Homo-oligomer: A and B are copies of this chain.
């Protein structure tokens, strides 16, 4: 088992990563101290793993809420449903929400925990690669609005994150690939050595070999934690984590959150951002090719929908990163280094949008 301590200013929490942690009768009870527990999961993950969690917490009062599976259910209505269950069971401030599932369950359950009685404890038990490397660190919780992704939410840190890599055995390959997009993102933005390690171990990761998987998750969380610790409320450097996300969100919004997985959209977005970085002379054409090759090997080379440059720009304008009308973007300065800026010629963006969305 690998362990990473995320040492936030006023509270710290551990991330545990390892094979079959949910089946191990000691791990979950040791880190989940509350007596009253609400287990939030979905109709896909619940039947596979909820019993393991319930078994290990059989001396507690545990109520389960199972939500429909999918990004389209990450809504304020479902938050309200979770809150109703907390109220109906008269759960107090010392109760705890456990999120068992992927990013949708984690974001939604975390937001419900953030709002209930102005904040109760919650723990993440992520069962997708994406949520293991992304939602584990940063304290972002929230839901979508028909007008845009993650427009409603709160910062709320978990008490513990328990990432059982064995749960990835039941993850559809497509979702595994989508999770790798975020792993590749950390390498591209922060760590050239990790990029080389990924190029060398990509097949092992796709083959679900436990040790490389645990290392990739650990290193991703570590890189994210370093940034989040320096910038908990996303004023500056943390914005770099959104590499590929502004373009990716445009793709997801254009397609109604249903056709593209988040990681797939981010992968396409990273390639668009790399292309723009090259148009601006920040990185070379061979650099872009190296990004494209790795994404292609990971099965993440789907081109964005041809919605037209103008509509793409409209979706970009709805992004949270817009300030004073200018679209701020994360661009690569080199492989392994990025910047967040609104300082680029509009022509270059127009050219990029035309090339990818036109």
Contacts and interface: CB of A to CB of B under 8 A. Distances in A.
A94 B235 CA distance: 12
Contact of A152 (B83, B153, B233, B318): B83
Contact of A154 (B76, B83, B119, B150): B119
Interface stretch (A141-149, A167-175, A200-208): A141-149
A92 interface: yes
Given A90-B318, A323-B93, A116 B152 contact: yes
Contacts of A154: 114-115, 118-119, 154
Interface size range on A against B: 35 or more
Contact of A117 (B84, B92, B146, B320): B320
A234 B234 CA distance: 25
A322 B117 CA distance: 12
Contacts of A90: 147, 317-318
A323 B120 CA distance: 13
Contacts of A148: 87
A30 interface: no
Nearest to A92: B322
A92 B153 CA distance: 14
A90 B318 CA distance: 6
Given A80-B76, A154-B154, A324-B94, A88 B119 contact: no
- Majority SS of interface residues in chain A? mixed
Nearest to A152: B115
A94 to B, nearest CB: 6
Contacts of A317: 90
Interface in A83-99: 83-84, 87-88, 90, 92-94
A262 to B, nearest CB: 17
A147 B117 CA distance: 12
A114 B142 CA distance: 11
Contacts of A324: 94
A318 B117 CA distance: 12
A155 B119 contact: yes
B145 A92 contact: no
Interface string A123-137: 000000000000000
A297 to B, nearest CB: 35
B322 A115 contact: no
Nearest to A325: B92
Interface string A237-264: 0000000000000000000000000000
Nearest to A117: B320
A356 interface: no
Contacts of A84: 145, 147
A24 B119 CA distance: 38
16 contacts: A76-B76, A76-B80, A84-B145, A87-B147, A87-B148, A88-B147, A90-B147, A90-B317, A93-B320, A114-B154, A115-B115, A115-B154, A116-B151, A118-B153, A118-B155, A118-B234
Given A76-B80, A83-B151, A93-B323, 10 more contacts: A76-B76, A76-B83, A84-B147, A87-B145, A88-B147, A92-B322, A92-B323, A115-B152, A118-B150, A154-B154
